[in-house]
Amino acid sequence: MNKYVFIACLFASSAFAQDSPWQFTGGILLSEGGDRLFTGKYTDGTKIDITAGGTLALNFGLYRNIGSAFDLQTTLGIHTAGTLGTNGNASFTRFPLEVMGFYQLNDDYRLGAGARKSLSAKLGTSGVATYQPSLEFKSSVGSVVELQYLIGKKTRKSKAQSAVNFRYVKETFTEKTEGIKVKGDHIGVGVVFYN
């Protein structure tokens, strides 16, 4: 985890440099998809499913304009799916690093594509959930396609103050011990903020 904090500090230091062309971005996303990694039930009978493409992602990073219609963006985040119980927990957590390029289609929409590498992917279990053992995964270099609907004031330095984003991610995880492959492909919708 320390190396990810170090990377984040490098991002921040370059953005704070005087007259830096880089600006901050961050976002939150709800996602769904991917193969099932964990299944169970609460004591009231409610079913629990944790998938390799769910459920909540938070990210932050930097972006810069390259010409009037192109942007380059890099982010580091946490993407997790899980459940918390009084007698046991289970979660699938990974730290995606993304590099994307965006093209401004018009005043309201932009389209982006890029690459994603999910770092330190792990299914963790505790308590009564340990009938499924904890597992560690390595990930493929995945691909991302994203459409944004821009909201807010647009300036020469910022395409918008915020955007609603719709995305598709294709990635694969491989369990480190047995080599079992798991699809993490997912769709998502969220909100992106720009400074």
What pLDDT score does 43 carry? 77
Phi, psi of 185 (to 5 degrees): -55, 135
Give residues with Cβ within 8 angstroms of 120, minimum separation 6. Answer: 1, 4, 93, 94, 95
Residue-level pLDDT, tens digit, the chain, 195 residues? 555 555 555 555 544 545 678 899 999 999 999 999 999 887 777 888 999 999 999 999 999 989 888 999 999 999 999 987 778 899 999 999 999 999 999 988 999 999 999 999 999 999 888 888 999 999 999 999 999 999 876 655 555 679 999 999 999 999 999 999 999 999 999 999 988
Tokens of 14: 């370059």
Tally of structural domains, the chain: 1
CATH number of the domain to which 141 belongs: 2.40.160.20
CA angle (36 as vertex; 32, 40 as ends), nearest 5: 110
What pLDDT score does 17 carry? 47
Owning domain of residue 106:
2-194
185, 169 Cβ separation under 8 angstroms = yes
Amino acid present at 83: T
Amino acid present at 103: Y
What pLDDT score does 157 carry? 55
Residue (of 78, 87, 89) closest to 132 by Cα position: 89
135-139 and 55-66 beta bridge pairing: unpaired
Phi, psi of 168 (to 5 degrees): -130, 130
Alpha helices in 1-139 (DSSP H): 2-16
